[in-house]
Amino acid sequence: MRRLLLGAVVAALLPFHAALAQEANATQMEAITEIFRCMAQGLPQDWASAHMVVDLADPGDATGRVRYLVFRKDAEDKPEFFTPCDDTDGPPKALIALREQEPVERRGNFRLNYDFPTK
């Protein structure tokens, strides 16, 4: 199985600290799975990485603007927009709902990186 990357830049889930990595709990994994299922539906066969970027006008907003970007294997320096599943608002809503479960001090800028294990 090839190595796949999901969501290098995501606002609203796990804090990004260079020295701190965190395992996701069961609730977070359910949301990550829901997000991946949606994103996977719109990915081209030759994708190298996929990103969901959620921009909030103000910290703590419940809604914002979402963009889905894909980088292809032979053009990893050229992002392209793509449409995931029909419910393009579902994945960011799942992330924002997870944010509400986090302690207040952990609700700032976030990044979620998800890799499939290599075999």
User: From first to last of its 119 residues, what are the pLDDT tens digits of the chain?
Assistant: 233 333 333 333 333 333 345 677 888 888 888 988 999 999 999 999 899 988 888 877 888 889 999 999 999 899 999 999 999 999 988 888 888 887 777 776 667 676 665 55
In our burial notation (b when 16+ CB lie closer than 10 A, e otherwise), range 18-35 reads eeeeeeeeeebeebbebb
What is the value of pTM for the model shown?
Answer: 0.72
Report the C-alpha gap between 67 and 46 in whole angstroms: 19
